[in-house]
């Protein structure tokens, strides 16, 4: 059993709290990734599991055992770091087998394990190479093989691909996924790279300021973020946020209103500040919005900057004259701007007056005061649930 459980883990360094009251469970065989901005406590949390950092409060369990007071070597975990330090004077075989030889495994067992690990990371045939004769990605694989030979219950990986170039990172991403599948191992992974987190993980744990914000499947964090922080952090470019005030029959923002029944929102009432969130791909030009089941009223805008990205084009929209000349602001937080993404074949120019609508089923509402999510997807104006199609009775 290699389930990992953190129970109310807090780590303080003097006045500073690096990790605050984090509780979470990683299932046996699960791949869980910690994400969050720099300094949010990802590495520290991982180090408490490895035993490299002692929590100030809280307990760590691996399987049914409380390992909080155990030394790293007695926890059945293996770590892979960003800077894999291979022994430069040893060849690949010696590097991979170093830990086993230290533990006095017999030669035959060592050879069997090293060959098996080299096979998994596809380094067979390279066992007599020196580290200086290998690429960064190959060296990284040696580091991973060194973890595999120990046959750990749990792999802890802290940005293991961060030093590799973009192409190699994508390649290693698929290798790590294969490795996880083949070894059926429990993996806790730390990364800055959202694409890594989204593609490799069964679940991602989003941290901010040392606190766990959400732990859920990647698409759940994307589609149903638990608060403004997760909504803004997951997804690139960021979700648009527009502040508004709740009225008797809708939400009023600087530039547009959205029909809704405030009684749907139990945590807030009429007059309260509510933030509307909508992703760039859920803002549509009216002339292309025929297929939307339900959308907001038209919102007049002027296109400002266009950013062709290859498979999509980002369009910065100014919603009012007041926004002109203020494009240095982040559209994600500016009340008078919206970021829209369109397909490259869309006919659109900078400086054009356009009408856009928002896909109501993709609108998120947040309590501005607490940041907590209130609703993901507005019911349409006839009261249908998001995603359902109109019936004859509706017309």
Q: Which residues bind ligand ATP (CB under 6 A)?
A: 13, 16, 18, 36, 38-44, 192
Q: Which is nearer to ligand ATP, 34 or 93 (CB)?
A: 34
Q: Which is nearer to ligand ATP, 16 or 328 (CB)?
A: 16
d(CA 315, CA 312): 10
For residue 280, count other CB atoms closer than 10 A to its CB.
23
Q: Which is nearer to ligand ATP, 82 or 122 (CB)?
A: 82
Sheet holding 16-26, edge to edge: 16-26, 4-13, 57-62, 65-66
Q: Which is nearer to ligand ATP, 204 or 301 (CB)?
A: 204
φ, ψ at 280 (rounded to 5°) = -55, -35
Q: Output DSSP code: residue 389.
A: P
Q: How far is the CB of 17 from ligand ATP (least distance, A)?
A: 8
Q: Which is nearer to ligand ATP, 156 or 299 (CB)?
A: 156
Q: How far is the CB of 207 from ligand ATP (least distance, A)?
A: 7
> Cα(first)–Cα(last) distance of the chain, in Å?
56
Cα 36 from chain centre: 8
Q: Which is nearer to ligand ATP, 187 or 339 (CB)?
A: 187
Q: How far is the CB of 170 from ligand ATP (least distance, A)?
A: 21
Sheet holding 154-158, edge to edge: 77-80, 154-158, 186-190, 31-35, 203-208, 211-216
Q: How far is the CB of 65 from ligand ATP (least distance, A)?
A: 24
Q: How far is the CB of 214 from ligand ATP (least distance, A)?
A: 16
Measured CA to CA in angstroms, residue 310 lies from 135, 223, 302, 341, 344 at distances of 30, 24, 22, 12, 7
Q: How far is the CB of 28 from ligand ATP (least distance, A)?
A: 25
Relative to beta strand 31-35, strand 186-190 is parallel
Q: How far is the CB of 82 from ligand ATP (least distance, A)?
A: 9
d(CA 151, CA 184): 11
Q: How far is the CB of 39 from ligand ATP (least distance, A)?
A: 4
Beta bridge partners of residue 208, listed in sequence order: 211
Q: Which is nearer to ligand ATP, 40 or 154 (CB)?
A: 40
Q: Which is nearer to ligand ATP, 120 or 221 (CB)?
A: 221
Q: How far is the CB of 148 from ligand ATP (least distance, A)?
A: 24
Say if residue 305 is exposed, middle or buried (CB neighbours under 10 Å; 0-12, 13-18, 19+). Answer: middle
d(CA 168, CA 152): 26
Q: Which is nearer to ligand ATP, 14 or 125 (CB)?
A: 14
Residues 6 or more apart in contact with residue 69 via CB below 8 angstroms: none
């Amino acid at each position: 059993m290699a389930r990992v459980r953190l129970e109310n883990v807090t780590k303080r360094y003097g006045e500073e709290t690096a990790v605050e009251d984090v509780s979470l469970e990683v299932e046996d065989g699960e791949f869980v990734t910690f994400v969050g901005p720099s300094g949010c406590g990802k590495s520290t949390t991982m180090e408490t599991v490895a035993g490299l950092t002692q929590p100030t409060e809280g307990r760590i369990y691996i399987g049914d055992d409380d390992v909080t007071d155990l030394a790293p070597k007695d926890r059945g975990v293996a770590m892979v770091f960003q800077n894999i330090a291979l022994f430069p004077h040893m060849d690949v075989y010696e590097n991979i087998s170093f830990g086993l030889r230290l533990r006095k495994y017999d030669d035959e067992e060592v050879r069997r394990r090293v060959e098996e690990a080299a096979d998994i990371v596809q380094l067979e045939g390279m066992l007599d190479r020196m580290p200086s004769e290998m690429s960064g990605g190959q060296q990284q694989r040696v580091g991973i093989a060194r973890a595999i030979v120990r046959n750990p219950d749990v792999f802890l990986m802290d940005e293991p691909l961060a030093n590799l170039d973009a192409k190699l990172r994508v390649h290693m991403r698929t290798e790590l996924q294969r490795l996880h599948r083949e070894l059926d191992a429990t993996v806790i992974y730390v990364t800055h790279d959202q694409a890594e987190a989204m593609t490799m993980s069964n679940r991602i744990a989003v941290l901010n300021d040392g606190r766990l914000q959400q732990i859920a499947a990647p698409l759940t964090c994307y589609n149903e973020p638990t608060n403004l922080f997760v909504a803004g952090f997951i997804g690139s470019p960021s979700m648009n946020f527009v502040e508004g005030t709740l009225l008797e029959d809708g939400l009023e923002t600087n530039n547009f209103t959205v029909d809704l029944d405030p009684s749907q929102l139990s945590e807030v009432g009429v007059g309260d500040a509510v933030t509307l969130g909508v992703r760039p791909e859920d803002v549509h030009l009216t002339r292309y919005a025929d297929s939307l089941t339900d959308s907001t009223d038209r919102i007049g805008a002027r296109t400002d900057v266009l950013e062709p990205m290859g498979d999509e084009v980002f369009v910065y929209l100014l919603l009012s004259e007041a926004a002109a000349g203020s494009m240095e602001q982040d559209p994600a937080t500016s009340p008078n701007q919206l970021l829209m993404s369109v397909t490259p074949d869309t006919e659109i120019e900078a400086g054009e007056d356009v009408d856009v609508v928002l896909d109501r089923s993709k609108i998120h509402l947040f309590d501005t005061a607490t940041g907590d999510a209130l609703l993901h997807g507005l019911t349409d104006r006839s009261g249908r649930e998001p995603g359902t199609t109109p019936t004859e009775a509706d017309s």
